[in-house]
Structure 1
Amino acid sequence: MPHTLATVLEAVEKLWPLSGAESWDAPGLVSGDPAETIETVLLAVDAVGDTVDEAIEANADLLLVHHPLLLRAVTSVAEDRYKGALLARLIRANCALLAAHTNADVVSDGVSAVIADRLGLTDLAPIVPGPDGVSGIGRVGTLAEPVSLGHLARELAELLPPTAGGVRVSGDYNQPVQRVALCGGAGDSLLATDAVTGSDVYITADLRHHPASEAREQALIGGGPALIDVSHWASEWLWLETAARQLAEALPGLDVSVSETRTDPWDFVVVQ
C-alpha cells in the first residue's frame, strides 16, 4: 500500500512528537497536501537553495529538514524573497516540506543522544530533563576512561563532517576529561546548568564571546568545564542517518536518503 503524506506525518509524530517542541519553535508541515502519495524522502539539516535543488533533482516527494524554514515571523512569501522562492519551487515540483526541530532534539535517540552514542558515553541523562526524566535537551554522560581534552577534540573532528570553522577548544590540551556534557546545535544557554558546570568539558555549537568568556573565567575561580565549539550544522547532521533509518523502518517501502550537501554557512577561514 503506498504511503501518503498523512501517513508520513503520523509516523513522524510517533518518532518526534510535536508536544516535545519548545514553545518558541515551529516544527511540523510547512507545505504539501496530506493526501499526496509519498515515495521518496530526502533528509537535510536546512532548507536552502542547494538542498531544495537536490530534492527536486532527485524527484523527492518530501524534503524533511531539521531547521524550520518559517521559524521567525514571515509576512510574505513573495518570490523576490528567498523563503518565498524556495517554497514556490518546492510547491511547483510537488515536493512537500516538513521540519522536525526541538521535538527531534529531546527524544531519547535525538540529536544530542546520537553524538553521545558516537562518542561512547555511558550513564546518559538530559542536561535539562523533560517531564518523564528521560527525554530532554542535551545529554551528559561519562567516557569509559579519561582522555586528554585535545584527544577528545581530535576525535570530534574525525567524527563530524568537515567545515571551515573546524573544532575550537577552550582549555588545556592535556587536561584529562571524562564527564562530558553536550548539546547539538546552539547551546550556550545551558552553560550555567548544574549538569554542564559539573562536567569536565562541554561540547556545543555557536558559543558566543561573552557567555564563553564568562564561563571560562568562572571556571578559574570555582571550577567548570573546558569548552569545545563545533559547527552547528555538523553537530546536527549526524542525526539525519538515525532519523532516516527510523523513518524507513516505520514506513516499509519508503525510499529515504540523507543529503550530504554542506549547509554550514561558512566557506573558508583565514588563519592569522
Structure 2
Amino acid sequence: MAAVIRNADIFTAMEKWAPKHLAFDWDNVGLQIGSFQKPVKKIMVTLDVLESTVDEAVQHDVDLIIAHHPLLFKPMNQVNADTAKGRVVQKLLQHDMTVYAAHTNLDIAQGGVNDMLCDQLGIENRTILEVNHTEKLVKLAVFVPETHVSAVRDAMGEQGAGYIGAYSHCMFQSPGQGMFKPLAGTDPYLGSQGKLTFADEVKIETILPASKLSAVLKAMTAAHPYEEAAYDIYPVENSGQAYGIGRIGDLADKLTLASLCEKVKTAFEVPHLRVTGDLSKKVKKVAVLGGSGEKYLHKAKQMGADVLITGDMTFHPAQEAWEKGLSVIDPGHHVEKVMKHVTQSYLADYFAGRGVDIIVSHADTEPFQFI
C-alpha cells in the first residue's frame, strides 16, 4: 500500500528546488494557510491567490494551492469577510484548503522563475545578475568498515554530498585501521564488550553544503552498521554555489530591439509592452528579472547588458536607463506565470505514480487591460 502523501511532503519537494533560506528577508514564503499534516491528492499551481483562484480550486476539489506570490505578504490585523482578502481566507478555511508560497526563493533558485524566463527567450551563456547568497560548505569525514563503504557512500551522495560543479558523488577514500572498546550496555557490530577491537575501515571524505549537513548525517548514520558512527566535520574556505536574483546572458543572434520586443511578446503571450531606446539598435546581451526589477538597472548596465527585461518600471528610473544607453523592455509583472507549468512538471515528476494530481490555474489574475 502506497504511503499517504501529506502537505509536508510537497513542501519538502518544493524546498529541495527552492530552499526557503534563499528568500529575501522581507518576503513571506512557505505555509500561508492550512496544515503540514493534511493528506493531499490534488494540487493546483498558480501565480496569485485571488478569490477567482480559490473559486477555481474549490471547483476542482483541490487540497493544496502552490502559489508564487504570497497570499499573506503583509500582516493582517483582522479577517474581515466583507473585504476581498478576508473572503479569500474565509473560503480557504471553509474548504480546508492549504496555501503554500515560493516567491523570491523560486526567483533565485537554479531553474527558477528567472531561468524559466530566459529559457522562453533562448538566452544562452547566462550568469546571475546579482549574487546575494553563497552556500557555505563543510567537509565530512566518516570511518566505515569495508563491508559498508558503498552503502554509506551512496547514501551520502543521494542526499547532496560530493557535488562539485557538474560532478556528483565526489569523494576520497583511504584505508586504515580503526580501534575501539565497546563498553557495558553496547551491542557492537564488531568486537565484544570490554575488549579492545581493531577493524579494517575506510575513511570517506567529501564536501557538501552546510544546509544539507543534517540530511546527509541522517542518511549516513542510517546506512552505517555501527551503533556510534565515527565522523568529523570541518569548516572549509571553498566557495560554494552562488545564488542570486536575475540572469544575464546572450541571445543566439543579434536582434534589433524591435525584433526582441516581438520575441518577448510572443514568448510571454503579452499583446503589448513598454520599451525604451532606439528600436533599430542591435542587441545581444540581455538581462532578465521577473517581477519588479528597476532597482537593478545599474547592475545590468555595469555587467554590459544592452537591454533589461523586467516589469513594473516607473518613469524616472526608465528615463535614467534611457540616458545611460540601457534599453528597457517592460512586458509586465504577470509574465512570471511561466512558473505554473514548470512547477507542475517538476512536482509531477517528483511524485510520479504516487497518486497526486497536479493541475495549473487558468483563472486570469492579470489586473491590466490593454485598449
Q: Is TM (by shorter chain) over 0.5?
A: yes
Identify unmatched segments of 5+ residues in structure 1: none
Aligned to 1:227: 328
4+ residue segments displaced more than 3 Å:
194-197
Q: Given that residues 27 and 98 in structure 1 are in contact (C-alpha distance below 8 angstroms), is that contact kept between their aligned partners in structure 2?
A: yes
Q: Given that residues 197 and 225 in structure 1 are in contact (C-alpha distance below 8 angstroms), is that contact kept between their aligned partners in structure 2?
A: no
Offset at residue 59 of structure 1 (A): 0.4
Aligned to 1:158: 266
Aligned to 2:116: 114
Aligned to 2:70: 68
Aligned to 2:195: none
Offset at residue 267 of structure 1 (A): 2.7
Matched, 1:242 2:339: no
* Partner AA of 2:250 in structure 1: T
Q: What's the C-alpha RMSD, in Å, of the aligned pairs?
A: 1.5
Q: How many residues align?
A: 261
Structure 1 counterpart of 2:358, from 234, 256, 262: 256
TM-score (norm 1): 0.91
Aligned to 2:18: 16
Q: Given that residues 301 and 326 in structure 2 are in contact (C-alpha distance below 8 angstroms), is that contact kept between their aligned partners in structure 1?
A: no
Aligned to 2:316: 210
Q: Deviations for 1:97-138, whole angstroms, at most 9, x for unmatched residues?
A: 111100100011111111111211111111112314542100
Q: Given that residues 196 and 202 in structure 1 are in contact (C-alpha distance below 8 angstroms), is that contact kept between their aligned partners in structure 2?
A: no
Give the direction of change, closer, same or farther, for the CA distance of 1:120–1:134 in structure 2 (3 Å limit).
Answer: farther
Task: Give the Cα separation in 1 of the matches to 2:364 and 2:86.
Answer: 22
Mean Cα deviation higher: 249-258 or 142-151: 249-258
Give the direction of change, closer, same or farther, for the CA distance of 1:195–1:109 in structure 2 (3 Å limit).
Answer: farther
Secondary structure (helix, strand or coil) at the match of 1:98 reads strand
Task: Give the Cα separation in 2 of the matches to 1:196 and 1:186.
Answer: 19
* Partner AA of 1:34 in structure 2: F
* Partner AA of 2:82 in structure 1: D
Offset at residue 264 of structure 1 (A): 1.1
* Equivalent residue runs for 1:47-196 within 5 Å: 47-129=49-131, 130-131=133-134, 132=240, 134-162=242-270, 166-194=272-300
Q: Given that residues 255 and 284 in structure 2 are in contact (C-alpha distance below 8 angstroms), is that contact kept between their aligned partners in structure 1?
A: yes
Q: Which has the larger radius of gyration?
A: 2
Secondary structure (helix, strand or coil) at the match of 1:162 reads coil
* Partner AA of 2:293 in structure 1: G
Q: Given that residues 5 and 38 in structure 1 are in contact (C-alpha distance below 8 angstroms), is that contact kept between their aligned partners in structure 2?
A: yes
TM-score (norm 2): 0.68
Aligned to 2:203: none
Q: Deviations for 1:19-77, whole angstroms, at most 9, x for unmatched residues?
A: 00001000110111222111111111110011111111110101111111111122111
Task: Give the Cα separation in 1 of the matches to 2:267 and 2:111.
Answer: 18
Task: Give the Cα separation in 1 of the matches to 2:53 and 2:44.
Answer: 9
Q: Given that residues 47 and 339 in structure 2 are in contact (C-alpha distance below 8 angstroms), is that contact kept between their aligned partners in structure 1?
A: no
Task: Give the Cα separation in 2 of the matches to 1:89 and 1:115.
Answer: 32
Structure 1 counterpart of 2:306, from 200, 206, 223: 200
* Partner AA of 1:158 in structure 2: T
Task: Give the Cα separation in 2 of the matches to 1:124 and 1:52.
Answer: 36
Task: Give the Cα separation in 2 of the matches to 1:195 and 1:238.
Answer: 26
Task: Give the Cα separation in 2 of the matches to 1:208 and 1:65.
Answer: 26
Task: Give the Cα separation in 2 of the matches to 1:180 and 1:30.
Answer: 35
* Partner AA of 1:267 in structure 2: Q
Task: Give the Cα separation in 1 of the matches to 2:299 and 2:258.
Answer: 24
Offset at residue 154 of structure 1 (A): 0.3
Secondary structure (helix, strand or coil) at the match of 2:91 reads helix
Secondary structure (helix, strand or coil) at the match of 2:79 reads coil
Higher strand proportion (structure 1 or 2)? 2
Offset at residue 194 of structure 1 (A): 4.9
Secondary structure (helix, strand or coil) at the match of 2:298 reads coil
Task: Give the Cα separation in 2 of the matches to 1:99 and 1:194.
Answer: 28
Q: Given that residues 287 and 300 in structure 2 are in contact (C-alpha distance below 8 angstroms), is that contact kept between their aligned partners in structure 1?
A: no
Task: Give the Cα separation in 2 of the matches to 1:205 and 1:57.
Answer: 32
Task: Give the Cα separation in 2 of the matches to 1:194 and 1:3.
Answer: 43
Task: Give the Cα separation in 2 of the matches to 1:268 and 1:173.
Answer: 21
Mean Cα deviation higher: 143-152 or 79-88: 79-88
